């Protein structure tokens, strides 16, 4: 039996991760805790069809007081069981057109995509201490690769790129800090998905991306701790499952 938690689960990749995890949890007698600022109609429908396998907890990761409150609600929902896997999918994205000096959203991107994730981790890790799994997946982006920055310079989202590079650094620092306790931290790029953010011309469907992310999450072991992974989707040269360069 495994218990999972997904942030940013009201739509897109987060919603699909909850959908696919719930199928697994229902078979194993586990629980999926779906968190988001608000419970969307699609998530509400999914919960209603889950036979109790999905529980919603309100969570705005930009508000640390709300994170702390949500952690107590999750503790109650787990009913003295441990949280086994945490997938940090919540995040924000915006664009800047023109030279970098006109970028005005860096503070906000960092506060949500990096500081918000850090606050989620430090409030939720105590719920995972007794787990035999202890996996944390931070959903990152190939846009966060400094090595590949020139190759993706066409995308007008510098604050998002910077925040994802910082999220990758945060992931590595957590991986080093908690490796002696058996935790496994991964940054995962889910690919270019046909979501609200990715648009209808993106490479992969959201279910494809979610399945590929979960394949990485389920198979990860301690040698993967602190790595930045690309998904594997057969037939796609861009998604061969290799590590993404920092």
DSSP codes joined into one string, 109-137: HHIIIIIIHHHHHHHHGGGGTT-S--EEE
Q: What's the pLDDT score for residue 200?
A: 81
Position 87 pLDDT exceeds 70: yes
Tokens 């590590």 found at:
243
- Can you tell me the mean pLDDT for 29-44? 96
Q: Which residue has the higher pLDDT, 197 or 216?
A: 216
Question: Any residues with CB less than 8 A from the CB of 118 and at least 6 apart, and which?
Answer: 170
Any idea where the domains of the chain sit in the sequence? 3-230
DSSP E strands in the chain: the ranges are 3-6, 31-36, 54-58, 85-88, 135-139, 184-189, 227-230
Confidence of residue 192 (pLDDT cuts 50, 70, 90): confident
Q: What's the pLDDT score for residue 195?
A: 82
112-159 pLDDT, tens digit per residue, is: 999 999 999 999 999 999 999 999 999 999 999 999 999 999 999 999
Cβ neighbours of 138 (radius 10 Å): 25
The radius of gyration of the chain from alpha carbons, rounded to an integer in Å, stands at 17
CATH class of this structure's domain 3-230:
alpha beta
Position 246 pLDDT exceeds 80: yes
Number of H helices, E strands in the chain: 7, 7
Position 61 pLDDT exceeds 70: yes
Q: State pTM to two decimals.
A: 0.96
Confidence of residue 108 (pLDDT cuts 50, 70, 90): very high
Distances (CA, A) of 164 to 69, 74, 152, 236, 243: 26, 27, 13, 23, 15
Q: What's the pLDDT score for residue 158?
A: 96
- Can you tell me the mean pLDDT for 189-211? 87
- Can you tell me the mean pLDDT for 75-103? 95
Q: What's the pLDDT score for residue 25?
A: 85
- For the chain, percent of residues with pLDDT exceeding 70: 100
CA distance 120 to 23: 25
């Amino acid at each position: 039996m495994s218990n999972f938690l997904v942030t940013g689960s009201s739509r897109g990749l987060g919603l699909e991760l909850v959908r696919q995890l719930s199928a697994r949890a229902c078979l194993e007698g586990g629980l999926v805790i779906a968190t988001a600022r608000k419970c969307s109609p699609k998530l509400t429908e999914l919960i209603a069809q889950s036979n109790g396998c999905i529980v919603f907890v309100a969570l705005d990761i930009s508000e640390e007081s709300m994170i702390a409150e949500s952690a107590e609600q999750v503790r109650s929902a787990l009913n003295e069981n441990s949280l086994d896997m945490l997938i940090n999918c919540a995040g924000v994205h915006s664009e800047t057109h023109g030279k970098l000096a006109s970028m005005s959203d860096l503070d906000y991107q960092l506060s949500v995509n990096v500081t918000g994730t850090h606050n989620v981790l430090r409030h939720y890790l105590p719920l995972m201490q007794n787990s035999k799994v202890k996996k944390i997946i931070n959903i990152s982006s190939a846009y966060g690769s400094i090595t590949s920055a020139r190759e993706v310079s066409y995308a007008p989202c510098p604050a998002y790129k910077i925040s994802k590079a910082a999220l990758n650094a945060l992931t590595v620092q957590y991986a080093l800090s908690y490796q002696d306790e058996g935790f496994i931290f991964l940054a995962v790029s889910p690919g270019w998905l046909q979501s609200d953010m990715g648009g209808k011309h993106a490479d992969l469907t959201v279910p494809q991306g979610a399945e590929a992310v979960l394949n990485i999450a389920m198979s990860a072991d301690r040698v993967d701790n602190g790595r930045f992974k690309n998904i594997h989707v057969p037939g796609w040269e861009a998604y061969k499952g290799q590590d993404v360069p920092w």
